[in-house]
Every structure is written in C-alpha cells, then in structure tokens.
Amino acid sequence: MEFIMKTRMFEEEGWIRKKCKVCGKPFWTLDPDRETCGDPPCDEYQFIGKPGIPRKYTLDEMREKFLRFFEKHEIYPHGRVKRYPVLPRWRDDVLLVGASIMDFQPWVISGEADPPANPLVISQPSIRFTDIDNVGITGRHFTIFEMMAHHAFNYPGKPIYWMDETVELAFEFFTKELKMKPEDITFKENPWAGGGNAGPAFEVLYRGLEVATLVFMQYKKAPENAPQDQVVVIKGEKYIPMETKVVDTGYGLERLVWMSQGTPTAYDAVLGYVVEPLKKMAGIEKIDEKILMENSRLAGMFDIEDLGDLRYLREQVAKRVGITVEELEKAIRPYELIYAIADHTKALTFMLADGVVPSNVKAGYLARLLIRKSIRHLRELGLEVPLSEIVALHIKELHKTFPEFKEMEDIILEMIELEEKKYAETLRRGSDLVRREIAKLKKKGIKEIPVEKLVTFYESHGLTPEIVKEIAEKEGVKVNIPDNFYSMVAKEAERTKEEKGEELVDFELLKDLPDTRRLYYEDPFMKEFDAKVLRVIKDWVILDATAFYPEGGGQPYDTGVLIVNGREVKVTNVQKVGKVIIHKVEDPGAFKEGMIVHGKIDWKRRIQHMRHHTGTHVLMGALVRVLGRHVWQAGSQLTTDWARLDISHYKRISEEELKEIEMLANRIVMEDRKVTWEWLPRTTAEQKYGFRLYQGGVVPGREIRVVKIEDWDVQACGGTHLPSTGLVGPIKILRTERIQDGVERIIFACGEAAIREWQKERDLLKKASNVLRVPPEKLPETAERFFNEWKEARKEVDKLKKELARLLVYELESKMQKIGSIEFIGEVVEGSMEDLRELVEKLKKPKRVVVLISRDGYFAVSVGSEVGVEANELAKKITLIAGGGGGGRRDIAQGKVKDISKAKDVIESIKSMFS
C-alpha cells in the first residue's frame, strides 16, 4: 500500500514532494534544487569535519535538551518517563528492548493498561543484534543506542495528536532547539512494520544521516478470518486497522551528538572515554584523519549484512584516499576493533545491570556472544587487558546518569571475570575438538569447514569462527567466515518459540459464560462453599463460583469433592480457561445445569501449598539480599512435600551463602510480617513497585494482583497466600542443583514438610549412631577414623592384589602351551573385568594368544602382533558359543558370557583354531 503523506506544515510552508533520483522513494524538502532524499547510499555524510549543529553536545546534554523540550512544550507538554530495563520483564515474546515503543507493547497499545503519561517523552537504551557485524565499521551502527522518543496514544474518542503535530514538533526541535538548517532537512516517506504493527512513516534525514523516524502506527497483523475490505498490505504482510492509533517516534541520541561534533565516527563522539584509553593500551599510531573521515563517509553508504563483502568497501575507500587495500586495512582495522569493543562492553554493562546472566540460552546467550566477541577483538589487538577493566570504565563514566551501575558494579565485574575464565577453558578444550572435526573432513576429502559447522562450534562449544580458522589453517583446511556471521547467530537466538498448551475444553463452548467468582481470593481459608452448576462439558463441571484453586503460577490445583444429592464426587483437576474455572470430576453424569452443589477442598493439601507459596516469596527476598539484585526467578513449582525455586545466578551457591539465606528467611518467618494483596491497574503497580513485580513471569490483564510481604518482597502473583509469614512455619533448604548454565535450583520445604525432613535426618543420624555405636555428636570424628582405617586397609589390599596378580601371571606362564609357532594360554580364573584386562595385557607377546574367563562370566583376550587373527574376532567366537556380548581392538578385547558352564568349551574351541 502506498501512503501519500501530506501534513499541515508541508502545505502551509511550501514544502515540495519529490522522488529521489537514486532510490525512487518520495520525500519532502524545502530545497527546490534537491534531487536526492538525503539517505545513504543516495547521499554521503556531509557533516564529518563540518558539524551540522552549531553547538557541540555531550550525550547527557543532548538527552536533557530533548527531554526538556517535550516536557516543557507550551502546547503539548509531555510526561517525562524514566528508562525501562533493557531486559523486558513485562513481556515474553522478545529477549531485549530494541526500541522505545517496546516498553508499551502489548499492554498499553492494546488498551489493557494506561500509559504512564499521555503524551510521554523518554530516552530508552535499546539493544539490537541485527547490525552487530556493522558495528565499528560503518561509523553509525551500534549494538546499544538510546532511542529518544515522544509517544502519543490516541484511544477511541480520546485523541492526543497525530501526523501534523508530530512532524511540527520534530521540525521545531531540530530547527529551533538544535539550530539545524531547515533547507537541509528532508522527510522521506517509508512505511514501517514491526512487532505485529505497521503504519505510514517518515524518516527524518539531515546531511546524509537519518536522525529520527516518525511512525504513525495504525495497523495490526490481520487474523486469518479478517474481513477483506479491512485488510491492507504493507511490506508484503496483511494488516487491519487498530482501534488505538499510536505516534511512535525514535530520535537517535548518539547520532545527534555525532552530528553536533562532526567527528569521523559516532563512536569517537560518544565513547571516547573507552576509545582513547584503548588506543593508548594498544599503542596504535595516530591515523591520518583524512583516511578515517573518508572511510566513515563511504562506510556509511554500506551495510555489511546486505553487502556481505567488506573487501569491496575497502577497495572503494583505498581508491579514494590513494593507498593500497593492504595499507588501508592495516591502518583502519585496529580502530574498528576498538570501536566494536567500546560499543559491545557498553551494551554488556546495561544488560548485566538489568539482570541478564551470561549463559547458553535467550538473552544470556547474547550477553555471552558480546563477551566472547570482545575478548576475540582484544586478542586481535594484542591486548591482555581483562574485559572487566573496560566495563569498569563504562560504570565510572555512566553511573551518575545510571546509578544502578554503581550499585551492581561488583556483581557485573565478577560475572565478566568468570566468563573470561570459562572462555579460556573453552578454548583449551576446543582446540582438540576442532582438530578431530578436521580429521573427519579430511577423510571425506573436504578441504573447507562449512558455515553450518562454524555455527555449531560457536553455539555448542563457544568457539568463535576466528579461533576455528586459526586452528584449521595450521592443519591446511580453509575457513571462510561470512561477514554477517554474528548477526546470523544472534538472529537465530532472538527467535522466540510460541508454546501452545493442550486445549482442555473448546473455548467457544465457554464464551457465553460469566466470569467465575473466585472465592479463594475473597477468603483464602474457605474450606467449604455452595455454588450453582452452569454447564457440564465432557468430564468438566463449570460453577458460578468456586473456592477450588485452578493450576497456575507454579501452584498446583486443589482437589477435593463436590457433594451432589448427598453423594461425594471427587474433583481430580481444576483449570482456568480465560476467566472461567473448570472442574474435572469422576462422575460428570451426576451433575445437571442449574443444580446447587456443595464443595469441600482437601484442606491439608491446600494449606501446605499456601505455606510453600508464601515461603517461596520469603525465600526470594532472602536470595536477592544475599546473592545480589541480578537474581531473578526463572521458574517455580510447589508440592505438598517440597517446593523448588529456580533463579538466575552466574555461579554455584556456596554452603556459607545457603546458611545465610536459610537463616534470613527463617528470621522473616519468626518476625511474623504481614502479607497483603491488592488488585492494581497494571501501570499503577509498575510505577509503584517497578518491574521486579514480574518475578513469576508475565501476568496478563488490565489489573494485576500484587502480593506484598511487609518491607521484604512484592510480586504480581495469582496464588493463594497466608496472611502473615509466621504461618509459613520453618523453612528448610534441602539442596541446590545447577539445572542449566546460569540457573540454580533451590529445593526447600516449609511448615510440616520441613519438620518431616528434620525428622528424617534425625532418623538417619540415629541409625548411623547405632551402626557405629557412638552418640550422634561423635559421628564426624568416628566416621573420619573409620574412613582413614579403611583407606589404609585398601592400600594393603591393593598391595596383596598386586602380589597375587604377579603370582597368577607366573602360574599362567607355567601353563602356556605351544601350538606350532603360537603360544596359547587359556584358563578359568578369579577376578573382575579390570583384573582380567590387566592380566592379558601383562601376558601379551608377539606370538601369543591369551584367553581368560572369570567365574563371574567376564572374559578378556589378547592377541600378539604376529598372530594372524584379531582379538575382537575371538571375542565374537566366545559369545557365539557361550552367549553374551563383547568386543574391542585388534590386540585386546573383552566382554561377558551368559553361560559360564561353557567356559572350558570356549577355551578348547579357540585353542583348536591354532592346531
């Protein structure tokens, strides 16, 4: 669909709509002589060395200039909103925040939540991996950048502002606040689509650089059954109109700072505090500024992901500055590496401060990608400097604007240090892995490692393609690394899988039913209730109200009975479908629509679930305080006997930490702190408590239920809870496990379940005390004494075994029989598989065959180098006669027979082979 985007300003102030002679796209300009749209590659950068903004700005100054302009605007004052975390806890469909509008998707845009202000202004740190291979090269691409934005949410009947006002606000900011020249600004028409939404859009271009995008989001992805007269096609996808129309703008903070400074690259303008120290550390000679500027001008016109060939760019730049490609490469490559390191480590600082833990999955994978790519760049520069030192430079520079960096500094740096150690270990192990793979390829006659194998090495073993290339070339095997390698693997990691649960009851059959009244929220201690049957579908009964808790949020469903006509019918499962609660019963035929039934909950089961659920929140508060604010719930499950809590954490939890966590949690229990819950509008809850609300994952709905433990923990949670922590009873941590890289599992028990665990331990201690005939307090020293005595006895046994083995070898040698030129030893002996292997190894000689079978059925065979058969052939013959299985190498084989009574027959049969 083509949008012709006229605005009030264009019509009133003499703007001209033209078509770009290079790309053919329409754009608006005040300059009647302009023929190109102003967008690379149609135009080169025209501000390098000649800043396009009269005054030089720092990041902080430009950010404040923007926020203040919109906040204090006379006609359209905007509410200033603080940045959101780069890890989007409020949604589960994306890994990282890549644009300011993502802060408000899906809840604000769908109308399920009010925006924090309307209109609003924000400067949102955004992370994108799509351009990672361009970072350091093009001069303008970043993994992390701040998207400054003003948003307006035009709900039905509540307009704020739209296209006319948006264009005027942008133009006013650029020309009146930043003093940019009006005639050099172009508005290029380019429809936008992303994240399931779309709309017409303007790219605002100035002297060869895109400085803002103004999107008028008014469409959403069309469902399959959408009326055809409503469907529009944008960029090949089908959309239908949205009820809410959203002004979605994005102004590049770093790009505007760069425009004001006119430095060769944006990295020099905004990352100098890291770039300059790195240049000194690496001892890089000062490059001719002309080379750097020309490189940036031309690099700005290329996208490595699209071009796929950095070599071509190098040739063009070299030609322009009059040097060879090799000379250019030598001069420019160290700068590109430093720029990339500076950008990647800044992205890491934000990611780790906002709770990302490096790992092999999701956002953790992307953090590890940045760490390992940065280490590789440092290595290419010949620098031994720890990556944590570079991250520390970011924290030092940025903590005044982002105080959370200073609060998290120790944890951030420790995570980076641990990752560096892991990577060093990976490289040590990885070299052998690559060599083995190369050997396999050579056998097949393949002389180049395929790209998919490079991806496997990286994803499964953490080996960067550069490392693989280094090893492979020493072995005479080629490696061609695609220029967009890291974009490729990041794109794959960013794909989120949509999981669909089993459909228990067709939602269409429930659509006309009212929301079930949730009695378990009205009174969590309600054990019995009366309710009316609304519908019976297969094995499921739907009531107008229920005290049975449906499965959700890690809490199991309640069980119990429904009493109908004086008869108890068991309830075996309870689920929630939309806002209707359904009960699975053993005899659905007993229920008729309209009848009143009496429900009784299995209270012993429910109260233990409540203890464990409130206990989970108590424990979570203790974990965060002992281990750090990076700790985040990664999953939980409750049963009556135990509960588990999975958390993000970058190392194993020590015994000392566990003791401290357990003590702290029990202290909160003994203090009997109040537990309260309330329903709050989503935005109100987020502004009041922050995004730590979403420990248990994304919670749907306009209003969310907030459970609060007084001065300890606040979470959005739909579970049933106790009114005070004292009712949880004792909390006992049973054990911890590392369930995956970056995730620790804590298994614990509360209340009666904890007491039962202590009783089990007491029984074990008592049994051990009885066996060793000492009181429990003497157990450690007695066990240690017995262990030391056992070790000494074992040494003695080993000595005796060696002596017996020596005597047995001597005895077997004496039983050797000569069969022609072959020496043959075949006997049934005592011993384990290991003993037999050792014996045949010791008895092996060039012209000798040894067959030993133990009384337990194990066998071992050795064949000398001058004997014309192989040991594994003899193993097959043995198992053919006596059953069982075995195998081995040419000289030694082993196995186990099924029928030990045939041992002598086996020996005679093998002996006859050499007669």
Specify binding-site residues for Zn(2+).
Answer: 613, 617, 717
Query: What single DSSP character describes residue 363?
Result: H
Cα–Cα distance, 453 to 460 (Å, whole number): 10
Contact partners, residue 29, CB within 8 Å, separation at least 6? 15, 16, 18, 183, 185, 186, 187
Closest listed residue to residue 274, CA positions, set 183, 146, 182, 374: 374
Query: Residue 544, class by beta-carbon neighbours within 10 Å (0-12 exposed, 13-18 middle, 19+ buried)?
Result: middle
Query: In angstroms, rounded to a whole number, what is the distance separating the alpha carbons of residues 612 and 894?
Result: 53
In angstroms, the CA 897 to CA 903 distance is 8
Residues near 327 by beta carbon (within 8 Å), at least 6 away in sequence: 318
Say whether 736 sits in a helix, a strand or coil.
Answer: strand
Q: Give just the sign of the alpha carbon dihedral 869, 873, 877, 878.
A: positive
Query: Mind giving me the DSSP string for 165-222?
Result: HHHHHHHHIIIIIS---GGGEEEEE--EEETTEEE-EEEEEETTEEEEEEEEEEEEEP
d(CA 272, CA 268) in angstroms, rounded, equals 5
> What DSSP character marks residue 82?
P
Asked whether 202 and 167 are in contact (CB, 8 A), the reply is: yes
* Annotated binding-site members: 613, 617, 717
User: Residue 388 corresponds to which tokens in the numbers above?
Assistant: 């944590």
Q: Which element (helix H / strand E) includes 313?
A: helix 310-321
What is the 8-class DSSP label of residue 653?
P
Please name the amino acid found at residue 202: F
Q: SS3 helix, strand, coil % of the chain, rounded to 5? A: 45, 25, 35
Cβ contact 117:79 at 8 Å: yes
Measure CA of the first residue to CA of the last residue in the chain; give whole Å. Answer: 91
Instruction: List, in order, residues 6 or more apart from 698 with CB less than 8 Å away.
Output: 89, 90, 91, 92
CA 69 to chain centre: 37
Nearest Cα residue to 675 out of 575, 517, 525: 525
- Residue ranges in 773-913 assigned as alpha helix (H): 779-814, 833-843, 871-882, 903-912
In whole angstroms, what is the distance from residue 850 CA to residue 695 CA?
66
Q: How many whole angstroms separate alpha carbon 330 and alpha carbon 907?
A: 73
Residues 6+ away with beta carbon under 8 Å from 540: 504, 505, 582, 583, 584, 585, 588
| φ, ψ at 234 (rounded to 5°) | -125, 125
Query: Is there a contact between 893 and 875 (Cβ–Cβ < 8 Å)?
Result: yes
The answer to whether the beta carbons of residues 481 and 450 sit under 8 Å apart is no
Instruction: Identify each DSSP E strand in 2-100 by its residue range.
Output: 16-19, 26-29, 79-80
Q: Coil, helix or strand for 524?
A: coil
**688, 680 in Cβ contact below 8 A?**
yes
Burial environment of residue 172 by CB neighbours within 10 A (0 to 12, 13 to 18, 19 or more): middle
Structure tokens at 711: 């001065």
